[in-house]
Amino acid sequence: MDYKTFCSILNKQIFETSKRDLIEKISSYPDRYIGLFRPTKPRAKILQNLLQSNEIRFGDALENLFEKYFEELGYVNLEKKIGNGKEYLDLDQIFRDKAKGIVYFIEQKVRDDHDSTKKRGQMGNFEKKINALLKIYKENELKCYTYFIDPGLIKNKKYYMQEIEKIYSDYNVFTKLCYGKDFWDDIDHPEVWDELLNYLKCWKSEIPDMPSINFDDDAKNTLEEIKDIDVSKFRKLFNNSEICNEILPILFPEKKVLKFLYAYFNEKAAHGSIYKTLSKKINEIILK
């Protein structure tokens, strides 16, 4: 994979809608950011939210990235949602090796850091998905992996090994636990792991140390990202005096985005009274 494609996949998944998502969360759950019974001030809570969101999105981005790698390696990516009409399961990865006639299923997580409840849930989901796949494919057609990408944290390896051995014994289907490079060695493409490490190092050197919470820094792009948020969420946002006084000055300190939003809603006023109401509310905030 070329480096530009690699970065595009990560950046799109992690950063592209982060501002929109934050504003929707603030509108829906304002007390998480301005509640009195919290040890953090709004600025710290906003930053914490963005950092946590980026961590979660990174795992999703790696799923998309690996899917692209499998495609470039010549595998055929298959439909990830499987079910019988009543219940559907979402698979992290599933692809076919046409030459060998093998279907690979991967339950993929970034790191092995689950607590007792989550590790049991992880194995329960793994077995449930294998059981569903066996209604579609023969036992000897499947190779099933629990794969933790980060080899630096191996918390529950003994437990997972024991459970995977039981699944193999009872279902008579190939199952394996892998960390880091192990999986790519197993499918005879160790070069992907080496490229992944090199690209990640370069990518991390290019992204900022901390996400910016000044959305006015890139006002026009911010407008494009947030302007189509449901008007009911904007209404809750601009009708909450605490948000207007404590949160909006952090996100829009120069009021550039607010001015763009005012103009945008003013133009749409002919399409409904709510847009006129929103533009009036925003103008009041701008004039403060």
**How big is the chain, counted in residues?**
288
Tokens of 42: 């709004």
Helix (H) or strand (E) run with residue 251 in it: helix 248-251
Encode pLDDT of 116-136 as tens digits: 788 898 899 999 999 999 999
What pLDDT score does 80 carry? 94
Residue 84 pLDDT > 80: no
Name the one residue in this structure whose structure tokens are 């904007």: 234
Helix (H) or strand (E) run with residue 193 in it: helix 190-206
Q: Kind of pairing, strands 93-97 and 76-77? A: antiparallel
What pLDDT score does 85 carry? 65
Average pLDDT, rounded, for the chain: 93
pTM of the model: 0.85
147 Cβ neighbours under 8 A, 6+ residues apart: 106, 107, 108, 109, 177, 178, 179, 183
pLDDT cut 90: percent of the chain above it: 85
CB 258 within 8 A of CB 211: no
Name the one residue in this structure whose structure tokens are 């701008």: 286
Coil, strand, or helix at residue 192?
A: helix
What pLDDT score does 188 carry? 95
